[in-house]
């Protein structure tokens, strides 16, 4: 029986930080060191303002930091001291070369693996925590085994992470399941058990699933693809609802009451964002193409196509409704993060929408409770390095300290992120209406507000998946 006393996590990001902080919190007898090559990020983890916003994270970190939880840039030392190493580095979509725009860029996984191979002085269990294409563990094994000796042995496990941002701590404390894949050899299964034992400090045994390595790797991509597919399905239906008078909330509710379908992930929206859904589906598409399965590739690709369509459809609807022009009009955007309760903006629908508004020469006033001003300006200026769009962005964009400030003198309000503070029982929409140009338009991309209540106030309300045809004969 292998007992783990010392864990290293390579990558102090949205996954490595919270995941390993929770392990330290639940296993006070295990020393957990989270390392990163980014010194600014590590300094923030060691400060009072953690580098990511996540409800409940502060409590977990502050309780264990410098007791059995450490953040460091000394990658080599942490590797050497560890019995078990999580590789939790980023795996973005490749920007150039073969598979650009689809395949996962595995350069960070490879460099972390090579580092382990280079500096390890004793046997290690190496755990793939990052989301990776199926059979990546094979490449990691080849690198590690090329450096193994009689005394140093490496076991590789796949332990994908299923947390969602905004609920990460809750997801980690009470996961639906923990998945651990291993080679089905005696050593592989022993390592699998050692990791399972760590989780079983707080996760019930029946929630710890063990599989072979490749099933584990593929299950992660599959789960994200299926979740995103549900959103694209309901968003496709939202377009039909708008054209017919059906109400997408009612349709989703009626479908979700079927226990075979379930009610979650059926909320129509302006399109899914976040660092992973698009990236992981494109990764699955690329994998299918590489396996010479073009029909499978195009099936999954359609989920991303529908998501892009939903964002463009929303923008077109806004322009059409505002009398076919938004040039020089002021648009107040409520929310910039890709979902509520996070400051993360990666692939946020807000970025696509606002870039389109700027292209139309509109003035855009943005308010988000958690996203930094500089992050907003950087995201909107990012043109893939092709041209410097920053001056144009600064000319058209105003970043505000409240929803009221953003909506002052605006022609239209657009709800992009479903922050609770934008709900109509929290925000004084009467005050917002009073400050706006008339007619005052409101576009709700999140099904957050009560349309009849706002219509009564005088707003021209436009909600995704709903139309004024609803309720008509
Ligand atoms: P992130 O970009 O927030 O963090 C990754 C960190 O790894 C960065 O701080 C980077 O500096 C560091 N890093 C890269 N190479 C390194 C190296 N060689 N040595 C040391 N540090 C290195 O990424 P993330 O959001 O935490 O995602 C990590 C992985 O987890 C990805 O594969 C992602 O798909 C997956 N995932 C993410 C989420 C999520 O909610 N963000 C959820 C589940 C799975
Ligand atoms: C998602 C998955 O939910 C996690 O299980 C997974 O671990 C993670 O990706 C990952 O691999 O990174 P996350 O992207 O953090 O988590 O957040 P989600 O709650 O899944 O939301 C993703 C996007 O879909 C958001 O923009 C959200 O607003 C949108 N969404 C979600 C909808 O539009 N409708 C819904 O019904 C649900």
**Token duo for residue 392:** 């144009």
Question: Could you tell me if 2 and 45 are in contact, meaning their C-beta atoms sit under 8 angstroms apart?
Answer: no
In this prediction, residues 299-312 reach a mean pLDDT of 98
Q: Which residue has the higher pLDDT, 82 or 149?
A: 82
Which residue among 14, 93, 224 has the greatest number of ligand 2 atoms within 8 angstroms of its CB, and so is best to mutate? 224
Look at residue 427 in the predicted model and tell me its pLDDT. 98
Report the pLDDT value the prediction gives residue 473, as an integer from 0 to 100: 62
Mean pLDDT, rounded, for 332-356: 97
Tokens of 296: 């499978």
Strands (E), 122-207: 124-128, 154-158, 178-182
Q: Band the pLDDT of 37: cuts 50, 70, 90.
A: very high
pLDDT reported for residue 185: 95
* Residue 160 and residue 136 in contact, taking contact as beta carbons nearer than 8 Å: no
Compute the distance from residue 410 Cα to the ligand 2 centre, in Å.
30
Query: Per-residue confidence at 342, pLDDT binned at 50, 70, 90?
Result: very high
Please state, for a pLDDT cut of 70, what percent of the chain lies above it.
99
246-280 tens-digit pLDDT: 999 999 999 999 999 999 999 999 999 999 999 99
3-state secondary structure of 104: strand
Q: Please work out whether the CB of residue 163 comes within 6 Å of at least one atom of ligand 1.
A: yes
18 CA → ligand 1 middle, Å: 11
Cβ of 70 below 6 Å from ligand 2: no
What is the per-residue pLDDT for 42? 98
Closest residue by CA, ligand 1 atom 12: 11
Q: Is the minimum distance from the CB of 87 to ligand 1 under 6 angstroms?
A: no
Mean pLDDT of 225-236: 98
Question: By the 8 A CB rule, do 157 and 187 touch?
Answer: no
Given a cut of 80, is residue 233 above it in pLDDT? yes
Q: Is the pLDDT of residue 469 over 70?
A: no
**pTM for this model (two decimals):** 0.96
Mean pLDDT of 192-221: 97
Q: Rounded to whole angstroms, what are the CA distances from 302 to 93, 166, 233, 350?
A: 17, 27, 10, 21
Is 134 a catalytic site residue?
A: no
**pLDDT value at residue 470:** 64
**Nearest atom within ligand 2 for CA of residue 339:** 28
The pair of structure tokens assigned to 93 is 């979509």
Summarize pLDDT for 144-166 with one digit per residue, the tens. 999 888 889 999 999 999 999 99
Q: What is the mean pLDDT of residues 72-97?
A: 96
352 CB within 6 A, ligand 1 = no
Q: In the prediction, which pLDDT does 468 show? A: 72
Compute the distance between CA of residue 302 and CA of residue 260 in angstroms, rounded to an integer. 23
Over residues 121-132, the pLDDT tens digits come to 999 999 999 999
Say which ligand is closest to the CA of 87: 1
Give distance in angstroms: CA of 228 to centre of ligand 1: 20
The residue-averaged pLDDT of 37-55 equals 97
Question: Pick the catalytic residue: 134, 276, 400, 412?
Answer: 276
Q: Give the model confidence (pLDDT) of 386-418 as tens digits.
A: 777 898 899 999 999 999 999 999 999 999 999
Average pLDDT along the chain: 96
| Residues 34 and 25: beta-carbon distance below 8 Å | no
CA of 88 to the centre of ligand 1 (A): 5
| pLDDT above 70 for 472 | no
Reported as a pLDDT band with limits 50, 70 and 90, residue 305 is very high
pLDDT score at 148: 80
């Amino acid at each position: 029986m292998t007992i783990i006393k010392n864990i290293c996590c390579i990558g102090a990001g949205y996954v490595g930080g919270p995941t390993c902080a929770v392990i330290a919190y639940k296993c006070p007898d295990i020393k957990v060191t989270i390392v990163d090559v980014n010194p600014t990020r590590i300094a923030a983890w060691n400060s009072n303002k953690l580098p990511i916003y996540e409800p409940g994270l502060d409590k977990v970190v502050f309780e264990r930091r410098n007791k059995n939880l450490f953040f460091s840039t000394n990658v080599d030392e942490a590797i050497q001291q560890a019995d078990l190493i999580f590789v939790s580095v980023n795996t973005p979509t490749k920007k150039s070369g073969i598979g650009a725009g689809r395949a996962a860029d595995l350069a960070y996984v490879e460099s972390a693996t090579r580092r382990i191979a280079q500096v390890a002085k004793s046997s290690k269990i190496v755990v793939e925590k990052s989301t990776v294409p199926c059979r990546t563990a094979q490449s990691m094994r080849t690198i590690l085994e090329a450096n193994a000796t009689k005394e140093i042995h490496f076991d590789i496990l796949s332990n994908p992470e299923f947390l969602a941002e905004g609920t990460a701590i809750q997801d980690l404390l009470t996961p639906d399941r923990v998945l651990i894949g291993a080679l089905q050899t005696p050593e592989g299964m022993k390592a699998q058990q050692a990791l399972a034992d760590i989780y079983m400090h707080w996760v019930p045994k029946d929630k710890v699933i063990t599989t072979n390595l490749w099933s584990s790797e593929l299950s992660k991509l599959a789960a994200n693809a299926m979740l995103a597919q549900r959103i694209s399905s309901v968003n496709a239906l939202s377009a039909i609802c708008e054209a017919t008078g059906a109400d997408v909330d009612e349709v989703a509710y009626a479908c979700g009451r079927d226990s075979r379908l379930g009610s979650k992930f059926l909320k129509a929206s302006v399109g899914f964002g976040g660092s992973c859904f698009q990236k992981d589906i494109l990764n699955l598409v690329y994998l299918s193409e590489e396996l010479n399965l073009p029909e499978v590739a195009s099936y999954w690709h359609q989920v991303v196509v529908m998501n892009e369509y939903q964002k463009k459809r929303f923008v077109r609807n806004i322009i059409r409704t505002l009398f076919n022009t938004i040039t020089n009009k002021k648009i107040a955007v409520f929310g910039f993060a890709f979902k509520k309760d996070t400051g993360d903006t990666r692939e946020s629908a807000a970025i696509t929408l606002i870039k389109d508004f700027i292209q139309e020469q509109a003035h855009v006033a943005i308010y988000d409770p958690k996203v930094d001003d500089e992050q907003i300006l950087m995201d909107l200026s990012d043109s893939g390095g092709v041209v410097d769009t920053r001056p144009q962005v600064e000319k058209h964009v105003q970043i505000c300290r409240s929803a009221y400030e953003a909506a002052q003198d605006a022609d239209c309000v657009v709800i992009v992120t479903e922050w609770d503070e934008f709900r109509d029982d929290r925000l004084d929409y009467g005050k917002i209406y009073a400050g706006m140009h008339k007619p005052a338009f409101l576009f709700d991309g999140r099904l957050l507000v009560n349309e009849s209540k706002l219509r009564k106030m005088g707003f021209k309300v436009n909600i995704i998946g709903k139309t004024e045809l609803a309720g008509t004969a």
